[in-house]
Chains A and B, each alone.
Chain A
């Protein structure tokens, strides 16, 4: 072995050892840092859960003594259940409408030759950036004109329209990933456009549709300003507005009841995540359909 080769070999052996030592120090420091960051985010959640079982909760983090469901009992009696049902209605209807419209629009924009398609897509992208406060006054005027105020259904239409531009972009990109041969194969077998969409494209992009639907649902679920302005009917009050009204209703803040209300308001979204996680983690699979 030559001297040059020996030098090279020594360098190769020593260099990784230094890197390994640095790495061995960096790893625990990074872990501690991440644990601290995690705790910063977890502590408010922990407070929320503990306070919801504590009838005399205040702003401090403390174990409830004794554990009690009184806060839950009181907020349900105060109308939290009805408010959550209203939220479910608004979020559910807007999700169904927005997802259906976006899937069909996304399909056409992804697959068909449309005049000024680029311009249409840029306009849709522009719409995703518009703040709700900008649209609320003209929307309110339209609602007054059409006599649509104080209606859960029409309010959910507005909520749907808020999510449609982003969902169209999202689904257009998902549909664009489906190999065109599937649609051509279906077309030559005699399938119409609508049949191709429902029998071929939609089953292949279910995870993508679920992502769009969940994002719409969460947007609508947490929506505050639109239902507050467009639907003043007390029996239509959704959860987000309900919490706000509950907070200021009793003169002083009831921390325990507020926490219980918040936990109840979060449960449907958590359940939705749990149910759909199986499909969301699956991703798209075109395996076997086309030679990859």
Chain B
């Protein structure tokens, strides 16, 4: 096992900067998930750790050693590829044992280890088959087995579940967590699926346009996003982002948005004074907006009125989209809310539970 450290790492392809001045430390035995939209530089980061790409600037340390120019074969890492990359001309057994055979491990040792791992991943009956004779889930487990077998310094996983169907993906998420608990090897996992990131990671590394946005445990990233991008990327359904104007006139301060003025506490008002302009973005998670009957009293909560546009019943909960002026707010409500499309509904939320971002820089103010 090893600690992975990237210090001021930059990688460009021609004029295009894929990874820009990245600083990242992955602790020994930690499960880190790099997440971000397509083209954010997450796969390039993983490929630099693997040794398939060389950083233009900065240093990469694995286990305390600078690895910038060490070829992949000498890094003692294991990788699971998005497209499996199982060798089609070899049986499952030979695919699993490839790394051990390269290292001239004894046949007896190979046999023992292959059967142990096959047992653990439930692929023992498949050992004599070729990859073409396996289902997608079986291939993915063989690819995992090949990575696990060598007991490497670190695991690198490049969107390993993206080719699986939804049910199998959920099952494999459990499997991966179980395997990591059993073999707590340093793991860097790349995905664009924030559900995978939220459910599996010890820490999430969020990237956009080649730049690091935030590194934090999933709960922190969800509750305390550092900027509008982080708030918008993490969470399903997405956070509601509403543009508001700061109004310090009169006795107190208020945020003017959603056709109303929401009074804020002096503490929030003080933090709003550091905003670069008079415009801010309010982020409200769907579960923090509650629909209520027009008669209900909501002391200390902002109340706004809107029209129900879409209702999405999901069984355990229902998502409703409510139009308030030019904005559409999504609320997560209990099932059988009794609301109907086109009906008027009052929504209430606590401004202190909301996250407020600077309208110009997008950074979190409070």
B163 touches A189 (CB 8 A): no
A289 touches B73 (CB 8 A): no
A184 touches B52 (CB 8 A): yes
In the bound complex, how far is the Cα of B87 from the Cα of A285, in angstroms?
11
Known: A200-B87, A287-B88. A185 touches B131 (CB 8 A): no
Interface residues of B (CB under 8 A from A): 50-52, 71-79, 81-89, 98-99, 102-103, 130-134, 136, 139, 146, 150, 156, 163
A288 touches B136 (CB 8 A): no
A182 touches B85 (CB 8 A): yes
For B82, the chain A residues whose CB sits under 8 A away are: 291
Question: What residue in chain B is nearest A284 (Cβ atoms)?
Answer: B88
B163 touches A291 (CB 8 A): yes
For A177, the chain B residues whose CB sits under 8 A away are: none
A195 touches B102 (CB 8 A): yes
Q: Which of A189, A203, A204 has the most CB of B within 10 A?
A: A189
Question: How distant is B138 from chain A, measured CB to nearest CB, in Å?
Answer: 10
Question: What residue in chain B is nearest A183 (Cβ atoms)?
Answer: B85
Interface residue A192 (Cβ < 8 Å from any Cβ of B): yes
User: How many of A's residues come within 8 Å of B, CB to CB?
Assistant: 24
Interface residue A186 (Cβ < 8 Å from any Cβ of B): yes
With A185-B79, A185-B81 known, 15 other A-B pairs at CB within 8 A are A179-B85, A181-B85, A182-B87, A185-B86, A189-B73, A190-B73, A191-B98, A191-B102, A204-B89, A285-B88, A287-B131, A288-B130, A288-B131, A288-B139, A289-B84
Contact of A187 among B71, B89, B132, B163 (CB under 8 A): B71
For A188, the chain B residues whose CB sits under 8 A away are: 50-51, 72-73, 75, 77-79, 156
Contact of A190 among B99, B130, B132, B163 (CB under 8 A): B99
A288 touches B134 (CB 8 A): yes
Interface residue A273 (Cβ < 8 Å from any Cβ of B): no
Question: How distant is A113 from chain B, measured CB to nearest CB, in Å?
Answer: 11
Interface residue A286 (Cβ < 8 Å from any Cβ of B): yes
- Interface pairs A-B: 7 shortest CB-CB: A288-B131, A288-B132, A289-B88, A189-B99, A181-B85, A185-B85, A290-B83
Contact of B85 among A184, A203, A204, A285 (CB under 8 A): A184
Which residues between 16 and 67 of chain A lie within 8 Å of chain B, taking CB atoms?
Answer: none
For A200, the chain B residues whose CB sits under 8 A away are: 87
In the bound complex, how far is the Cα of B163 from the Cα of A239, in angstroms?
57
Query: Using an 8 Å CB-CB cutoff, how does the interface string of A204-238 with B read, 1 for contact, 0 for none?
Result: 10000000000000000000000000000000000
A290 touches B133 (CB 8 A): no
For A288, the chain B residues whose CB sits under 8 A away are: 86, 88, 130-134, 139
Which residues between 161 and 209 of chain A lie within 8 Å of chain B, taking CB atoms?
Answer: 179, 181-182, 184-192, 195, 199-200, 203-204
In the bound complex, how far is the Cα of B87 from the Cα of A286, in angstroms?
8
For B163, the chain A residues whose CB sits under 8 A away are: 291
For B51, the chain A residues whose CB sits under 8 A away are: 187-188
In the bound complex, how far is the Cα of B75 from the Cα of A260, in angstroms?
63
For B98, the chain A residues whose CB sits under 8 A away are: 186, 189, 191, 199
Q: Which of B79, B136, B150 has the most CB of A within 10 A?
A: B79
Question: How distant is A274 from chain B, measured CB to nearest CB, in Å?
Answer: 24
In the bound complex, how far is the Cα of B189 from the Cα of A202, in angstroms?
31
User: Can you list 11 pairs linking A and B with CB atoms under 8 Å apart?
Assistant: A184-B72, A185-B87, A187-B52, A188-B51, A191-B73, A191-B98, A195-B102, A289-B86, A291-B82, A291-B83, A291-B84
